[in-house]
A and B are shown apart, each in its own frame.
Chain A
Amino acid sequence: MMEGVKKMASRKIDGILNERLIDLDLVARNKREAIEGLVDRLYEVGNVTDREDFIKDVFEREKEGVTGIGNHIAIPHGKSDAVKATSIAVGRVKDGIPWESLDREPVRVVILFAVRNADTTNVHLKLLSEVAMALADDDTLKRLLETDDKKEIIHLLSQEMN
């Protein structure tokens, strides 16, 4: 029974996140390098069509407020014409990088939300909001820092989907 529920949840998240969009050995010394590294992933799978445009939009959003939500996690996001498919990329660095954060701690896990400008369906936006809600759980944030299993990362981020 539980297995069935888990499988359904992970199928739903497939539309916005898969293992190719997760890098647990992201190499980045600062915020820009981390965001660029994740944008590269999104570009490689074809979800982002213009690297520079999207990076610019993400940094525009960064100016509007703090995206470090504490516990070494950050959720930069950008809504952009350069996004072809609304999706998420996840990166984890070995050593914390400086990032504006609610608890003033450095960041190790970066969850980048790429949102298509004219998302007509809302289905994907709903999935993104469910990923965000999963991040309200401190144990989830802790596991995101610890696990080396990409499947677990996907499962953790999809736990609010039903």
Chain B
Amino acid sequence: MNIVGISACVAGIAHTYIAKKKLIQAGEQAGHKIHIETQGTIGTEDALTPEEIEAADIVVLAVDIQIKGKERFDGKKIVEIPTEVAIHSPTALVKKLEEIAQKE
């Protein structure tokens, strides 16, 4: 399936990027296509395109703060968790994304 998401932590220095990498690793390992945008101190990187969002089966928000552009996901299935869940148990999180994406 197609997963898109955002990671963003309080300081925007470290957790944001660990969470991103962990999500990508776990998502790809489970055979999914995954793209994660980061919103950190440095600004927004790897911004999601409207096409990617359109094609997504599920949206994962690994965020500890208010993020920019949440309205882009209106009408999508969204799973929102703190960055620490993505860092500590990414594989279980991806499983949960699969379950929620499949539910009608």
* Contact digits for A112-134, partner B, Cβ 8 Å, 1 yes 0 no: 01010000001001101111110
A155 in the interface (beta carbon within 8 A): no
* A70 engages B87 (CB within 8 Å): yes
A5 in the interface (beta carbon within 8 A): no
Do A128 and B88 contact each other (CB < 8 Å), given the known contacts A136-B21, A136-B22? no
B57 in the interface (beta carbon within 8 A): no
Contacting residues, chain A, for B25 (C-beta < 8 A): 136-137
Which residues in window 91-146 of A have CB below 8 A to B? Answer: 102-103, 113, 115, 122, 125-126, 128-133, 135-137
A25 in the interface (beta carbon within 8 A): no
Contacting residues, chain B, for A137 (C-beta < 8 A): 21, 25
* B18 engages A136 (CB within 8 Å): yes
* Contact digits for B79-103, partner A, Cβ 8 Å, 1 yes 0 no: 0000010011000000000000000
Contacting residues, chain A, for B18 (C-beta < 8 A): 69, 75, 132-133, 135-136
Distance of A159 from chain B, by nearest CB (Å): 11
How many chain B residues have a CB neighbour from A under 8 Å? Answer: 23
* From A69, A79, A103, A133, contact of B13 by CB (8 A): A79
* A79 engages B88 (CB within 8 Å): no
A84 in the interface (beta carbon within 8 A): no
Do A65 and B84 contact each other (CB < 8 Å), given the known contacts A113-B14, A133-B17? yes
A64 in the interface (beta carbon within 8 A): yes
Do A103 and B14 contact each other (CB < 8 Å), given the known contacts A133-B20, A136-B25? no
* Contact digits for B13-41, partner A, Cβ 8 Å, 1 yes 0 no: 11111101110010000000000001011
B10 in the interface (beta carbon within 8 A): yes
A61 in the interface (beta carbon within 8 A): yes
Contacting residues, chain A, for B38 (C-beta < 8 A): 129
Residue of B nearest to A70 (CB): B88
* B88 engages A132 (CB within 8 Å): no
* From B10, B14, B42, B88, contact of A102 by CB (8 A): B88
B11 in the interface (beta carbon within 8 A): yes
Distance of A16 from chain B, by nearest CB (Å): 12
A72 in the interface (beta carbon within 8 A): no
Distance of A130 from chain B, by nearest CB (Å): 8
* From B10, B14, B20, B41, contact of A75 by CB (8 A): B14
Give me 12 A-to-B residue pairs in the complex whose CB atoms sit less than 8 angstroms apart, sorted by A's number. Answer: A61-B11, A64-B11, A65-B9, A69-B18, A70-B88, A75-B18, A79-B13, A125-B13, A129-B14, A132-B17, A136-B17, A136-B21
